[in-house]
Amino acid sequence: MDEHRILIVDDEDEFATLLSERLSARGLRVDTANSGPAAIEMVKSDSFDVVVLDMVMPGMDGIETLKGLREQAPDLQVILLTGHATVEKGVSAMKLGAADFLEKPAELEELLDKIREARSRKMLLVEKKSRKKIDDILGSKGW
């Protein structure tokens, strides 16, 4: 897998560190944040392909963090992870633009597949926006 930029957001430091190490060993470039506000600040100043976000965190939960992340980077792909999944929360997250929703503990290969899919979706979105900009420029020149 080529080097993707991944941000893991989880208040459980041990879990975030272990997942980061496992993903890094598979060629991904991984950063971690231990809260929603920290993740939003990181996204403001850096570019990530995919965020793996815990749904249940103290203070700002996964849904509120998802909203903040999408405000900062609308094309950002977010995969929600939770040990406390409910259909209602999953539907709510998908309506807000989450790319996917997995229950903890997720199988590493399943998560890697979801990351690949999310990365592909992001590339398509970026390409579509670039084409639109080019078309707008060409259209404005009257060529």
Question: pLDDT band at 1, cuts 50/70/90?
Answer: very low
67: domain range? 5-141
Better pLDDT: 11 or 139: 11
Domain count, the chain: 1
Quick one: what percent of the chain has pLDDT higher than 70?
94
Q: What is the pTM of this model?
A: 0.84
Find where tokens 């999310």 sit: 118
70 closest CA partner among 34, 95, 104: 95
Distances (CA, A) of 67 to 22, 94, 96, 122, 133: 27, 11, 7, 17, 26
**pLDDT over 70 (residue 113):** yes
CATH at residue 124:
3.40.50.2300
